[in-house]
Structure 1
């Protein structure tokens, strides 16, 4: 904090305002998952694992279509003070994030082409430094891709049911500046906090935005969206590079 009490913003590692943290997508990190990815956004690390199972939820039966869902949890030592272990239905935030991940993945999946299979993408945060939900969406798509490709190559489904890619990124107004991909110190001081989920062709799946400490005007909103869409384009390119999707 400065002498005036204002937050003095110095981005870690000298990042530019429109620069992502170093992002790494490491595939095949779990032996027993049908598809897996360790996603790293700077110091945020999320382990994503996709499992395919025969059958669909009861309300889905008879529709000749599959289902894609997600579960999300933060491990106790993921933050600087130990959190209590999460159990199903225990934390509202986790439920909100896993629903976001599920919606995001279904936006780029042809469920009719999938057939009567259920794919569950587990996203477990092993280290948190801001942007765990955006990292989860981005890494879960890689895990989902690999799981579905393995089933296609095994002849269990005839075609890859993915219609495209999806990724997510955070943006915010911090110290009067528009920033891309907030780490925890930036997020905790944000005047406006936003998350963008978008497809590889630029379609917006979801936009979450909150005035934490102030409002924003239309020009600032447009600026944040421009930042976010540019960030999504870089993440989609990285996904494509590691999976060879669309080649």
Structure 2
């Protein structure tokens, strides 16, 4: 009986190790991003817009400029950046109802908070920029795509601003300095434990089965803005957390380069 139990233990250990060594279902390496593309100027009516295609996820991000500010900022010479997030009914299955829900409210707060971290609101002046993120197709990472694409739309909206003479209000390519409100790039990516191993940029099949799912938002300088994650009915170790963060920061460096090249 002891010998049989020992054999079964070895078989279970072998199966677990084989599972960990399996490639991801789409053939990507653990540190490999899905294809990421930005189509700027997608919505001509908005001051800034971009269609983000990130693997199977597609999000339209637009940035609109208003001359008013929230009441608590009136007369203080500061601007505001806010966001709205919505999944179109046909972006996922089953159909997503149009009515607002708690998840969408939480995500749009995260988007707005993340984008504000990269903006000098005093340099922006008394303006409000609203970034709308509409998910056209969802295959994991909709909030990270919204933040990443939202920054591109925000950059273009700020570049479109003019002063009283009609001249550009800010240096269009400046990120830091020259009085430009943009302090740095902002990007986001998901990471998790898939089959017991850290994996970057989870798609829906991975996101829905990962033992740990985490979203990381950071500046181009590598400073963290948001780290959100948790175990799905399980626990994880500190060294696994560090490995996931390292993987996320590696991915964010590549994402930022793609943003700037868009």
Q: How does 1:48-127 map to 2 (within 5 A)?
A: 48-86=61-99, 90-127=100-137
C-alpha separation between the residues in 2 aligned to 1:115 and 1:46?
28
Determine if contact 2:61/2:150 at 8 Å carries over to the other structure: yes
Runs of 4+ that moved beyond 2 A: 8-13, 152-160
Partner-residue secondary structure (3-state), 2:136: strand
Determine if contact 1:190/1:213 at 8 Å carries over to the other structure: no
Structure 1 length-normalised TM: 0.91
Partner-residue secondary structure (3-state), 1:195: strand
The superposition leaves residues 67-108 of structure 1 with CA deviations (integer Å, 9 ceiling, x where unpaired) of 00000000000012212113xxx3010010101010111101
Partner-residue secondary structure (3-state), 1:14: coil
Determine if contact 1:152/1:160 at 8 Å carries over to the other structure: no
C-alpha separation between the residues in 2 aligned to 1:136 and 1:70?
10
C-alpha separation between the residues in 1 aligned to 2:222 and 2:66?
31
The superposition leaves residues 35-90 of structure 1 with CA deviations (integer Å, 9 ceiling, x where unpaired) of 0011111000100000001010111112100000000000000012212113xxx3
Determine if contact 1:115/1:157 at 8 Å carries over to the other structure: no
1:157 aligns with 2:166: no
Partner-residue secondary structure (3-state), 1:137: helix
In the other structure, the counterpart of 1:46 is 59
1:231 aligns with 2:251: yes
C-alpha separation between the residues in 1 aligned to 2:44 and 2:33?
30
1:211 aligns with 2:219: no
C-alpha separation between the residues in 1 aligned to 2:25 and 2:258?
22
In the other structure, the counterpart of 1:18 is 31
Determine if contact 2:159/2:168 at 8 Å carries over to the other structure: no
Change (3 A) 1:84 1:163: same
1:177 aligns with 2:197: yes
C-alpha separation between the residues in 2 aligned to 1:78 and 1:207?
26
**Alignment RMSD (CA, Å):** 1.8
Q: Which residue of 218, 222, 225 maps to 1:202?
A: 222
Shift of 1:119: 0.2
In the other structure, the counterpart of 1:245 is none
